[in-house]
Amino acid sequence: MSDGNTPQTYATHAYQPRAWSATWLIAAAALLLLTWRAFAEPTWQALALVLLAVSVFLTTNLLRVFALRLQNRIIRLEMQVRLTRLGRAADLTRLKLPQVIALRFASDAELPALADRAHDEGLTPKQIKQAIRDWQGDYLRT
């Protein structure tokens, strides 16, 4: 994802949060090391540490899932407002959520035609994003 100073495009819109990736890697490494240690010297303390590591690892993953689900709900609401403003509220029920999420990058001028095309041709999110000519960056996605 762009830092907000440079224009965002299809090629630069993907975002991989480095802090989350590092946290996930550390949690995975801890889980592996503690599991290995528990097999080498099985004790109640070792088992408790493995369970704690599993909990941290699962929590790390769930936090990311919850954040993405919340963002998708917010994007759906934003698109509902945009489509309603454009007189196209029915599009929200015709399109699948991944299509709606991909359409958020389209300008208001090209959104109606692209929404029709996405529905009629069953375009994937990637195809929708590649079809956008007037890219509207999303600089707040986490």
Q: Which of 42, 54, 17 is nearest to 141 (CA)?
A: 17
Answering whether pTM is above 0.85, one says no
Q: Residue 1's pLDDT is what?
A: 47
The dihedral sign for the CA sequence 66, 72, 75, 77: negative
Q: How confident is the model at residue 133 (pLDDT cuts 50, 70, 90)?
A: very high
Please give the Cα distance from 38 to 128 (Å, whole number): 49
pLDDT tens by residue, 103-131: 999 999 999 999 999 999 999 999 999 99
SS3 content of the chain, % helix, strand, coil (to 5): 65, 0, 35
138: left (phi over 0), alpha (psi -120 to 50) or beta: beta
pLDDT tens by residue, 56-115: 999 999 999 999 999 999 999 999 999 999 999 999 999 999 999 999 999 999 999 999
